[in-house]
A and B are shown apart, each in its own frame.
Chain A
Amino acid sequence: MPLILKNGRLFDPGTGRDEIGDLVIHNDRIRDLGPRIAAEGPGVLDCSGLVIAPGLLDAHVHLREPGQEYKETIATGTRAAVAGGFTAVAAMPNTQPVNDHAGITTLLTQRARELGNARVYPIGAITAGSRGEQLAAIGAMRAAGAVAISDDGRPVMNGQIMRRAMEYAAMHQMPVIEHAEDLHLSAGGVMHEGPASYRLGLAGISSASEAALVARDLLLAEQTGCHLHIAHISAAATVRLLAEAKSRGVRVTAEVTPHHLTLCDEDVRDYDPNFKMNPPLRSAADREALIAGLAEGVIDMIATDHAPHAAHEKQQEFERAPFGVIGLETALPLGLALVRAGRLTLRRLLAALSLAPARLFGLPDPSLEPGQIADLTVFDPEREWLCAPAALHSKSHNSPFLGWRLTGRAVHTIVGGRVVYSLAE
């Protein structure tokens, strides 16, 4: 029986479609859409006041399974994803063991398929154990379904290894995702280096520590022709380097997190480790450059860097607590806040959350057109809710936005024609 989404705002960032209407799903695909499709019956979802958009894809998520199931599992992580409106996530390889061979890659995709929440696209490691020494089994992981390679959490500090990885990945038509951080420049640092870190007496991580490695990698991308993707960029200097490289046609894309678009170093208060992540929250001027870069397309996409940590790990001295915050369930409302503030168009926001990450991984363009796989995000852009642990589906609650009243929330998340999540009334 077909599933009909009635009377919603059909919004497709790829085609530019923006109209009130209905959308018909048959089996796992979109069959039809338009202003007036007469249909009633049990398979109808009233979408009045809701936006119907192609499914969101988060290009940067830590699911923690295998090895750290006390922080998150594939089950809880993909549940958090669909609750946040994401129909798919790309899983970073820094699990225990590291996803550096086809066995783990296969485990991830199989487990995700069994669960039937969000789709999971595995990202393989660049180097064995992400130790930065020897290339991982890139070809085998590619064959098992890996969509990119990254040593995320660590940079590839050895330039020669990075060059070889890019050459090898280019042969497999895979992007290389870099966690750009010069570990010598950032050594010991726990927050952005600037007036706030000096006042708090916390060791700083300079913007140059990110931009320096970005500069190296841009040169290598130009040399090798490999698609370079820079993870979670945080510094204005990085935006400038990207703009310059893109203007010359270097194959590079970049992502930014909702927390870097929303917060800055001055928000680090009371040594709350929920404000500790890597890269750190930078200055207000950096944040402005990130928003402008995203609006102009210098930064291609929004990715959450969803990094769950257990309460006992975050309830520690700031210096001792691990880096990272969760983000799957707050990304959409934080993005919509930028739209309401006039900093982004809705089309740009949704492109940054679906089209751009899909293209990064070589997936078909997400769209609402007939014949497409029915991965859809239906959200209420005006729905207000309190971000509190009880409202979250992730196993961990390490969010800097706890206590915030957010506006905008996923109401139905549809994967392969199936409603996998509906917001409880």
Chain B
Amino acid sequence: MSHLLGIETLSTEAIWDYLQLAKSFAAAPPARELAGQRILLLFYEASTRTRASFEVAARRLGAETVFVAAQASSIEKGESLLDTVYTLRALDLRAIVMRHGSSGAPGLVARNVDVPVVNAGDGMHEHPTQALLDGYTILRHRGQIAGLTVAIVGDILHSRVARSNILLLTRLGAKVRLCGPRTLLPPELAAAYGEAVTATHDLEAALEGADVVMVLRIQMERMRDAFFPSETEYVRAFSLTPERLRLAAPQALVMHPGPMIRGVEISAEVADSPQSVIREQVENGVLIRMAVLHRLLAPRAA
């Protein structure tokens, strides 16, 4: 049984396969090869764009989706994850797309069901379709990933988007610079990913000559746990402004996985600048998710 649980467990060939397939879907929309198949979207955390993106992707392939939100189900009553999944399994599902607040939860489900599981974000672990769509977006604009320098800025510690992107970008030959406050970017974190990944707490150093700048959302709840003192303090040191962006390579791409708070981690001018590909990331997300669902569910051509 094939699953998509993370970039870490994906072969480099499989990564390229997803990227190529998404490209071919952009050129020519596929037939409704998943007609009649039912896909469960099991979301234990709120999500706007990822959920919508998977729904659109499934429908373009002809599949139908069943959406189950944690808040509206027996999950709130304390039912275990596996019991919930076993119950929903009776709905003749062909795949489970799952978002969960606990790292590793999709893997737990994958080991206990007989349908493919797609990780749509698990805790602080991985968000593989986000990294694939980010890689796809960079490829579209730069033609390659090898040799590029990508700066990822923000709350690295808690970010599954950062983890999946670090894994995917370094696997495809990019260098990654992580940047954020010391509390949200422990030195050992960068070291855990090898020599292609470096860490700095100085945004200007991170941006210097970077080909791509990925900005991550900063959650104000983190202030409660003393990760940083205030919004003002964060903005002063880590907000991506037009002046700072000028330190990056000319025409450097600006990306953001959303949801984006203008004026905090990114200024409105940067978000709306020609260098920003933030809206295009959303479009590409549908293509990537079509490629993933197609690969896991459609009968493979020889």
Partner-B contacts on A (CB < 8 A): 194-196, 198-203, 270-271, 312, 315-320
Known: A198-B186, A198-B188. A319 touches B103 (CB 8 A): yes
10 other contacts beyond A198-B157, A270-B111, A315-B108, with CB at 8 A cut-off? Answer: A195-B191, A195-B192, A198-B186, A202-B104, A202-B125, A203-B124, A316-B80, A316-B82, A317-B102, A319-B103
**Which residues of the partner chain A approach B191 to less than 8 Å between Cβ atoms?**
195
For A318, give its contact among B104, B160, B193 (CB under 8 Å).
B104
A271 contacts B192, C-beta separation under 8 Å: no
Report B-chain residues with C-beta under 8 Å of the C-beta of A202: 103-104, 123-125
A to B CB contacts below 8 Å, 23 in the list? A195-B189, A195-B192, A196-B192, A198-B157, A198-B189, A198-B192, A199-B8, A200-B103, A200-B104, A201-B103, A201-B123, A201-B124, A201-B126, A202-B125, A203-B124, A270-B104, A270-B107, A271-B104, A312-B80, A317-B100, A317-B105, A318-B102, A319-B103
Bound Cα distance from A199 to B126, whole angstroms: 9
- How many inter-chain residue pairs (CB < 8 Å) link A and B? 61
Contact residue among A195, A270, A319 (Cβ-Cβ distance under 8 Å from B102): A319
For the residues of A in contact with B, the DSSP-based class is loop
Contact B186 A320 (CB under 8 A): no
A271 near B188 (CB under 8 angstroms)? Answer: no
Number of interface residues of B (CB under 8 A): 26
Of residues 97 to 136 in B, which have CB atoms within 8 Å of A's CB atoms? 100, 102-105, 107-108, 111, 122-126
Q: B154 to nearest A CB, angstroms? A: 15
For residue A150, give the distance in angstroms from its CB to the closest CB of chain B: 30
Cβ of B3 < 8 Å from any Cβ of A?
no
Q: Is B81 an interface residue (CB 8 A)?
A: yes
B163: which A residues are within 8 A, CB to CB? 199, 201
Give A199 to B164 CA distance when docked, in angstroms: 10
How far is it, in angstroms, between the C-alpha of A235 and the C-alpha of B160 when the chains are bound?
28
**Measured CA separation A318–B102 after assembly (Å):** 7
Contact residues in B for A270 (Cβ distance below 8 Å): 104, 107, 111
Closest to A203 in B: B124
Expressed in whole angstroms, the minimum distance between the Cβ of B156 and any Cβ of chain A is 9
User: Is B188 touching A318 in the complex (CB atoms < 8 A)?
Assistant: no
Q: Which of A194, A200, A320 has the most CB of B within 10 A?
A: A200
Which A residues lie within 8 Å of B103 (CB)?
A: 200-202, 271, 318-319
CA distance A201 to B156 in the complex (A): 10
Whether B189 contacts A271 by the Cβ 8 Å rule is: no
Beta-carbon contact of A195 and B108 below 8 Å: no
* A198 vs B191: C-alpha distance when bound (angstroms): 10
Interface residues of B in 256-298 (CB under 8 A from A): none
Known A199-B163, A315-B82, A316-B80; judge A271-B108 contact (CB<8 A): yes
B186 contacts which chain A residues (CB < 8 A)? 198
Nearest CB in chain B: distance from A286 CB, A: 14
B123 touches A195 (CB 8 A): no
Could you say which of B81, B82, B125, B157 contacts A200, with CB atoms under 8 Å apart? B125
Listed residue (A194, A271, A312, A320) with the most chain B CB atoms within 10 angstroms of its CB:
A271
B89 to chain A, nearest CB (A): 16
A316 touching B81, Cβ below 8 Å: yes
Tell me how far the C-beta of B163 lies from the nearest C-beta in chain A, rounded to whole angstroms: 6
Nearest CB of chain A from residue B129's CB, rounded to whole Å? 16
Q: What are the residues of chain B within 8 A of A203 when measuring CB–CB?
A: 124
Min distance, Cβ B212 to any Cβ of chain A, angstroms: 22
In this complex, what residue of A is CB-closest to B162? A201
Residues of B within 8 A of A315 (CB): 80, 82, 108
Nearest CB in chain A to that of B166: its residue: A199
CA distance A318 to B125 in the complex (A): 12
* Complex contacts, A195 vs chain B, CB 8 Å: 188-189, 191-192
Q: Which 6 A-B pairs have the closest CB atoms?
A: A271-B104, A201-B124, A201-B125, A195-B192, A317-B102, A201-B103
CB-nearest residue of chain B to A199:
B192
The residues of A that contact B188 with a CB separation of less than 8 Å are: 194-195, 198
